[in-house]
A and B are shown apart, each in its own frame.
Chain A
Amino acid sequence: GAGVSQTPSNKVTEKGKYVELRCDPISGHTALYWYRQSLGQGPEFLIYFQGTGAADDSGLPNDRFFAVRPEGSVSTLKIQRTERGDSAVYLCASSLNRLGAPLHFGNGTRLTVT
């Protein structure tokens, strides 16, 4: 079956531009997560959706970052006024809504801000 799909796989943008990163979770997975991985670091939590609502957005670094999941399936991570420090691999994951259910990660979107 299909795994978590993230598009684009690579995105290069200029400082100050707006970007959208898309995540298609595994069908039937109600929980969806965004993480960010910078070079030499482990994944860092950004936001967690349960259905359509953001259950925990405590990891979003500032108000330039926003994520939506309007129909409880596909999610979009939006970054306004990008900065060079936003360059990283943005990982999306989904899981079933039960204790111990593992996160299934996509291959990520590599964002480069020049």
Chain B
Amino acid sequence: DQQVKQNSPSLSVQEGRISILNCDYTNSMFDYFLWYKKYPAEGPTFLISISSIKDKNEDGRFTVFLNKSAKHLSLHIVPSQPGDSAVYFCAASVDGGSQGNLIFGKGTKLSVKP
């Protein structure tokens, strides 16, 4: 029973366009959400996070949107660059950001084509 779901295993986008990665969750107790990026043979790297008291958080080209009523969040990357090609994981926590126990989705592989 997956509590964090990334239903698109892969996404292909042209360089310069917007990439939108989606994530759905089932546990209404989740109060902190994060996105991690992973290159092959490397560990995941933290990208951006959002608390459940907000509906948007922006950091440079990356913006995360949270829709609590729909239990849905998305990561927008604008403009997309070839170096953004990686696997993106959505993760959630019930610890208010203390991150003791993160629940990860299965990931979405993003390919940005030049």
Which residues of A are in contact with B by a Cβ distance under 8 Å? 4, 31, 33, 35, 40-45, 48, 55-56, 58-59, 91, 93, 95, 99-108
Contact = CB atoms under 8 A, between A and B. Distances in A.
A52 B22 CA distance: 37
Interface residues of B, number: 26
Contacts of B89: 42-43
Nearest to B4: A42
Nearest to A4: B43
Contacts of B102: 35, 43, 45, 103
A102 B32 CA distance: 12
A105 B44 contact: yes
A107 B101 contact: no
B60 interface: no
Contacts of A35: 102
A-B residue pairs, 9 tightest by C-beta: A105-B43, A42-B104, A102-B46, A100-B97, A99-B97, A48-B100, A45-B101, A43-B104, A105-B44
A101 B41 contact: no
Given A55-B100, A103-B99, A41 B43 contact: no
Interface in B98-114: 98-107
B1 interface: no
Given A43-B89, A105-B43, 7 more contacts: A33-B100, A43-B44, A48-B100, A48-B101, A95-B99, A107-B42, A108-B43
A101 B99 contact: yes
B64 interface: no
Interface in B39-86: 41-46, 49, 51
A56 B100 contact: yes
Contact of A45 (B51, B103, B106): B103
A43 B97 CA distance: 17
A58 B102 CA distance: 12
Contact of A99 (B34, B36, B98): B98
B16 interface: no
Most-contacted residue by chain A among B41, B96, B101, B106 (CB, 10 A): B101
